[in-house]
Amino acid sequence: MTIIGNWKMYPSLSDALVLASRLKQELEKIRGVEIVLAPPLPWIIPIQEQWHYHKHGVQFAAQSLAAADQGAYTGETSNYFMKDIVGQVIIGHSERRQAGETKEDVAAKLASALKWKLKPTVCIGELRPVLDGGKLEPIGWHHLLTQAKAVLAGLKESDFPKLGLAYEPVWAIGGGKAARPEYVAEVLDRLMIALTDEFGPNVKEITWLYGGSVDSTNAVDYLRLKEVDGLLVGSASVKAKEFIQICHLASSLVSQ
């Protein structure tokens, strides 16, 4: 089971260091859960220094990295540069897609992450609900399926176990309007059937996450779904108590 905390651009350096020190004490006690923190990029090294970080406990992810390795790319940082600092990277978050990142950009970033052996979690999600009383809304479904297929199209089947796919309905992000667990289960079932048809049974080897207004009151409802292997948590991940509670809940499900 995997729990990723996406801190987005929320905490200042001082807030990030306070949050990290509160998390460290508790998170290191948690067993059976892969816990990944994605702070703002420039705060990762100060947090690691404060933690006397070694690569065995909690892992770190970048929230986005460039597809190129090195060169004239002002403002960018590459998988190649970050490979000794983080073990993972989030790719194609909807907030980046809304800012202009295309599915081709996402595919190129994914290829770079795999090349430099950073574990990628690629985000996909529809803009408006795609299911209404069991009926599919064709335009939204096509959008979601196209995004998912574009992620898998450039991969070999042997890459699937290295990949995380975070299903984050865009309408459920940030606003406290989490998708109902039954909705998530049904969309993921349909996605897995469609993707297995096209890409083969190894689609099941992907780590499937849910994200969108996850907090400690609803986390278990998603984690109990057979379709879901973990969570991508945004705003609740910068509240120490909330995030620790989510990780404890995940751990208690693993040990059941």
Catalytic residue set? 93, 168
Q: Contact 251/32 with Cβ under 8 angstroms? A: yes
Classify residue 12 as exposed, middle or buried by CB count within 10 Å of its CB (0-12, 13-18, 19+): exposed
Structure tokens at 244: 């620790």
Residue 151 binds to ligand PGA (criterion: CB under 6 A): no
- Does 209 interact with ligand PGA (rule: CB under 6 A)? no
Nearer residue to ligand PGA within complex by CB, 53 or 243? 243
Please pick, from the candidates 233, 238, 246, 247, the single residue that binds ligand PGA as defined by CB under 6 A.
233
Cβ 170 to ligand PGA shortest distance, Å: 9
Rg (CA), the chain: 17
Q: Compare residues 59 and 235 and give the one whose CB is closer to ligand PGA.
A: 235
Taking the least distance from each CB to ligand PGA, the nearer of 203 and 219 is: 219
Task: Check binding of 216 to ligand PGA (CB under 6 A).
Answer: no
Closest CA to 150 of 96, 209, 91, 73: 91
Q: What are the counts of helices (DSSP H) followed by strands (DSSP E) for the chain?
A: 9, 10
Among 120, 125, 211, 230, binds ligand PGA (CB under 6 A): 211
Question: Is beta strand 2-6 parallel, antiparallel or unpaired with respect to 230-233?
Answer: parallel
Contact residues toward ligand PGA (CB under 6 A) are 6, 168, 173-174, 211-214, 232-236
